[in-house]
Amino acid sequence: MIDVSGTSQDFSQPLPRSQQIAQRLEQLQLPDHVRLVAVSKTFPSDVIRAAYAAGLRDFGENKIQEAIAKQAELKDLPDITWHFIGHLQSNKARKALQHFDWIHSVDSLKLARRLDQIAAELGRSPICCLQVKLLSDPNKHGWTESDLKQVLPDLAQLSHLKLEGIMAIPPYGLLMTETQSFFERAYALGQSMANHQETPLPIRHFSMGMSQDFPLAIAAGANIIRLGTTLFGSRN
């Protein structure tokens, strides 16, 4: 028997995961002003590790417990920024603040107030996005345009949160042109909040665009996109 360990390379093997992710990243050719959040939900921590090796530092998760378990396994990677992107119940606000730097899915005044109160207690000041729902969508949470304008003065008083972003997900099944105008409306809504006469919010992050639609989102002004499938393949 000839020992070939370490000397042979099997070219039929797929690329190691981190190289695969690095390759996909390169193909994306994202503009410099666009921050990429790698959505690692349902994938184990070694996939996050591979993405980290490929240079990614922002990771998005949508379930608190799942994220905490992975974070524990990745303690040796100190410079990851964790983004919570799922629906957040008020009773999980504390855990979310303890384990995430960003919360993209602030979708009610009750939740916003709870987050603000606990952020004060914990001495944290998370960056938050207001999740908006510009078209009716039974599968999604979020503020309608008019609801959001109504609560603006209340939101402006929450001094412990950095309410600096808008997050929007188009309903499933829109045409490309409809998706485009959906993102444009979300962008315009954020701008109008930033320019509000009495109670402006410093909205400057536009978290919109997923694997299916991120080029349209970027064209409409997105500067944060959240990609899962494009980077990691399909989820089961």
Ligand X SMILES: *Cc1c(COP(=O)(O)O)cnc(C)c1O
Residues within the interface to ligand X (CB under 6 A): 39, 41, 62, 85, 169, 210-212, 226-230
Residue closer to ligand X by CB (options 122, 176) is 176
By beta-carbon proximity to ligand X, the closer residue of 62 and 223 is: 62
Q: Is the Cβ of residue 170 or residue 228 nearer to ligand X in the bound state? A: 228
Residue number, 161 or 169, with CB nearest to ligand X? 169
**Shortest separation between residue 136's beta carbon and ligand X, angstroms:** 18
CB of residue 60 to ligand X, shortest distance in Å: 6
Closest approach, Cβ 178 to ligand X, in A, equals: 18
Minimum distance of ligand X from residue 93's CB (angstroms): 18
Identity of the residue, 63 or 196, whose beta carbon is nearer to ligand X in the bound complex:
63
- SS3 of the chain: CCCCCCCCCCCCCCCCHHHHHHHHHHHHCCCCCCEEEEECCCCCHHHHHHHHHCCCCEEEECCHHHHHHHHHHCCCCCCCEEEECCCCCHHHHHHHHHHCCEEEEECCHHHHHHHHHHHHHHCCCCEEEEEECCCCCCCCCCECHHHHHHHHHHHCCCCCCEEEEEEECCCCCCCHHHHHHHHHHHHHHHHHHHCCCCCCCCCCEEEECCCCCHHHHHHCCCCEEEECHHHHCCCC
In the complex, minimum distance from the CB of residue 216 to ligand X, in angstroms, rounded to a whole number: 13
Query: Is the CB of 192 or the CB of 211 nearer to ligand X?
Result: 211
Residue nearest ligand X (C-beta atom): 228
Give the strand pairing for 162-168 and 102-106: unpaired
Minimal distance, residue 12 CB to ligand X, in Å: 28
> In this structure, are residues 169 and 140 in contact, taking their beta carbons and an 8 Å threshold?
yes
